[in-house]
Amino acid sequence: MKNRKLVYTLVALLFALGFYVYDHFSWGEYFFADASITIEKDISFQPTSTTGQIVHHPYYSLSYDEKYEQAEWVAYTLSADQIRHTKFKRPYFERDKKVKTKSAHYKNYSNSGYNKGHLCPAADRKFSKEAYDETFLMSNVSPQTNAFNAGVWNRLEQKTRYWATKYKGIFVVTGGVLKPNLKKIGREKVSVPEEFYKIILDYTEPEIKAIAFLVPHRDSNKALYSFVTSIDAIEKLTNIDFFPNLPDEIENKLEAKSSYKQWSFR
């Protein structure tokens, strides 16, 4: 009887420990191998929000802009060990319940001529079913033509995964350039960006580097490096400060550059 009670006590303690770990460990955080820096929920790499509506999910964070019915940015880390080719069943798109003003409904895209374009790509989150399914929240979607989504933008997403493998771990911020008088679709008037940006930061030692892309919303056969611009230029277009908590010396140097020489385009 005493042995049985001891077993029950140990089982209860293990369950309690398991729930504690689940509640207190941030599964969305990733530690780079050579730098003790946490990402998604750590404000050190969190961009500013022009709307004040920042939403944290386990595998990415975003700033939602109700005026344009989409995120002004989605930010996440991508590490070499997260690059997988697992085949998951594609889920339905769903509203994001964490968006207080309610994210756009997927029906806005019906017969619009635009795809529900992922900002954090589903292919970047194939390391778990939970992470993969999370990318199908409507807060992670922006209207994109099929030619753009499956063309030049897809090429850039593939290149991003290549860099995550090559450089072990990167931080990604992406979104559409939101501004007045954009074309709108659906009953909720979802804005259609004319340009999309993607900013990639490699914060691993010894070479800290960043690269920024500004891509017109149309397919193109141009080389990806032809869309490289400076982070400063994208900040002027969006009014977003992408790395406000980096040391000024590092931030100023990274954001002024529009060179791609440090990055492999193989």
Does residue 204 surpass a pLDDT of 90? no
pLDDT computed for residue 203 by the predictor: 83
What would the 3-class secondary structure string for 23-39 be? HHCCCCCCCCCCCCCCC
pLDDT tens digits, 62-90: 999 999 999 999 999 999 999 999 999 99
Does residue 160 surpass a pLDDT of 90? yes
Mean pLDDT of the 92-105 span: 96
Percent of the chain with pLDDT over 90: 75
pLDDT tens digits, 113-127: 999 999 999 999 999
What is the C-alpha separation between 13 and 56, in angstroms, rounded?
30
Does residue 25 surpass a pLDDT of 80? no
Does residue 38 surpass a pLDDT of 90? no
Does residue 34 surpass a pLDDT of 80? no
Check: CB of residue 212 under 8 Å from CB of residue 256. no
Q: Which domains does the chain have, with CATH numbers?
A: 27-256 (3.40.570.10)
- The DSSP symbol for 137 reads B
What is the C-alpha separation between 259 and 263, in angstroms, rounded?
9
> 169-196 as b/e, with b when 16 or more CB fall inside 10 Å?
bbbbbbbbbbeeebeebbeeebbbbebb
The pTM of the full predicted model, rounded to 2 decimals, is: 0.84
pLDDT tens digits, 248-258: 888 999 999 99
CA-nearest of 139, 140, 197, 160 to 78 is: 160
